[in-house]
Chains A and B, each alone.
Chain A
Amino acid sequence: MNGHTMSWRIAKASIIGTGHIGANMPCQDSHYVMQIGDIMIAAVSDGLGSAAHSEVGSKIASEQAVTHIANYFDSLKPPKKRFQWWPFPDKPEPKTQPQPDTLETVCRTAFTVARDAVGVRATAEHKELRDFACTLLVAVVTPNDWVVMHIGDGAVVGIFDNETTRTLSTPDNGEFINVTMPLTSNDYLTHLRFSHKAEALRGVALMSDGVQPMCINYKTGEAYDGFFRPIIQWLRTLDLADTDVSMQKLLDTPRFRQKSDDDMTLVLALRES
């Protein structure tokens, strides 16, 4: 980025599943990532196959949730020095330290904001909210702590020193593999799983359910190191301009395609050492 040192090295891709191509469906997965200084905010959303416009729902939900949280961190920055005609600021200077309580509130509100934004689109198009049904996973990583929020399936994996991993949020399936609880359900807040921990992460991975079979143990929910370690090491070697294209190529390999014919999303974010 033109000589700026970025704090994060990120590879991200959503690719359409072969099952969706065959059924003439669009890619219903979406993802969205923002960096505010050394803070990274990422979302992955999987539009439900049974909902007619879920690819729109997943796009709006992931963008709105991340943007809402990013705006909060933006507001903490000291104001930019600029030339003023009037030497006295007319607004009080904002606080510069994130308050833990406020961070949690902002993160939770992000889900309501995301759902409302999907609702606005549904109303504008004279459609039902459930036509836009999607899951939503959000991870916020600051230098000292992380917040993970999750409704539906998919998973979030934390990356620690020496490329070790630990699942931070496991998939929430219904009784059957083809049922999951969406953001658009009425009681979405009771299904929202929220974790906040004062723990430093080296990185984080977010995925839709299409990537789960490869790397999240069905029985224990544990992350599979044999999957993550090579990808982490690989991402560290990539030219920053190529990371997203490379991730897309990786997901599109026959081995991945054979394991899942669903849409696949993987967002991998590593702190630059």
Chain B
Amino acid sequence: MTNLPDVSFDPTNPDPRCACVLVLDTSGSMHGEKIDQLNQGLAAFRDSLQTDSVAQSRVEIAIVTFGPAQLLQDFTGASQFNPPTLAASGDTPLGAALQQALDMIAMRKKLYRDNGTPYYRPWVFLITDGAPTDNDAWKSAAVRIKDEESRKGVAFFSVGVEGADMEVLKQLSTRPPLPLKGYSFREMFVWLSASLGKVSQSQPGQQVPLTPPEGWTTV
């Protein structure tokens, strides 16, 4: 048996990061059971992320809510992620919220680059039950999303809750929107957590096969 050398590793190399912005509809129409179930879903998301030690150190979550469009929580490591309880009121400025999410991702990527932190393609995950109320602002957001998608700068997912304008969601991205089955937010967030966990463990150059969304959507 050969003795092995006592090597040390470069202590300044950070783990790679996978950023995810949740863009959540908290307009008046979400009031009642919908927002309650969404809050429970977020709690399940937190719990599920905490069972995955790799995801805990690599996934970073931010939350943008609308309306009005606002940053509810800046990027937080999954290990510290503790979602605030959402309340529903106001209109549905979807375009402004998406622009804000994309701005945050651009800033986050710059920070990663400046610090030499490797990173995976960030995710934007939109959940809405309505139609945009900020006129055509969603259209310029859609142009930006498609541009980012074509450059593989962002992966955009949208989920339509009962009452959502699926036609608008279809135009946001080349990836089709998924209709939420009933109020199965919990199942959806468990899937999201598992998917982010898979991405954050993937190898360079590897395409990550995601588990098909089952149990929470009718597709």
The digit string for B6-41, where 1 denotes a CB below 8 A from any CB of A, is 111110111010000000000000000000000000
Sort A-B residue pairs by CB-CB distance and give the 10 closest, nearest first.
A219-B116, A49-B206, A234-B5, A177-B118, A48-B205, A230-B5, A224-B10, A218-B116, A226-B8, A214-B9
Chain A residue with minimal CB distance to B204? A178
The digit string for B200-219, where 1 denotes a CB below 8 A from any CB of A, is 01111111100000000000
Instruction: Given the known inter-chain contacts A176-B152, A218-B117, A227-B10, please indicate yes or no for A233 contacting B5, CB distance below 8 A.
Output: yes
Instruction: Give the chain A neighbours of B3 by CB distance below 8 A.
Output: 234
Instruction: Given the known inter-chain contacts A19-B201, A49-B206, A177-B204, please indicate yes or no for A253 contacting B12, CB distance below 8 A.
Output: no
Instruction: Given the known inter-chain contacts A227-B7, A234-B4, please indicate yes or no for A178 contacting B116, CB distance below 8 A.
Output: no
Do residues B206 and A177 form an inter-chain contact, with CB atoms below 8 A? no
The number of residue pairs between A and B whose CB atoms lie closer than 8 Å in the complex comes to 113
A residues adjacent to B (C-beta < 8 A) = 17, 19-20, 48-51, 133, 153, 173, 175-180, 182, 209, 213-220, 224, 226-227, 230-231, 233-234, 238, 242, 245-246, 249-250, 253, 255, 259, 261-262
A253 and B8 alpha carbons, distance in the complex (Å)? 13
CB proximity of B149 to chain A, nearest CB, Å: 14
Instruction: Give the chain A neighbours of B8 by CB distance below 8 A.
Output: 224, 226-227, 230
**New A-B pairs, 11, CB < 8 Å, besides A19-B202, A178-B203, A234-B3:** A175-B152, A178-B204, A209-B204, A215-B10, A219-B12, A224-B9, A226-B7, A230-B5, A230-B8, A234-B4, A246-B4
Do residues A218 and B14 form an inter-chain contact, with CB atoms below 8 A? yes
A245 and B4 alpha carbons, distance in the complex (Å)? 11
Q: Is the interface of B mostly helix, strand, loop or mixed?
A: loop
Of listed A177, A209, A226, residue having the most chain B CB within 10 A = A177
CB proximity of A66 to chain B, nearest CB, Å: 23
Instruction: Give the chain A neighbours of B2 by CB distance below 8 A.
Output: 238, 242, 245-246, 249
Of listed B118, B203, B207, residue having the most chain A CB within 10 A = B203
20 pairs, CB–CB < 8 Å, chain A vs chain B? A17-B203, A19-B202, A20-B203, A49-B204, A50-B207, A177-B16, A177-B120, A178-B204, A179-B204, A213-B10, A215-B10, A216-B10, A218-B14, A224-B10, A230-B5, A230-B6, A231-B7, A234-B5, A250-B4, A262-B203
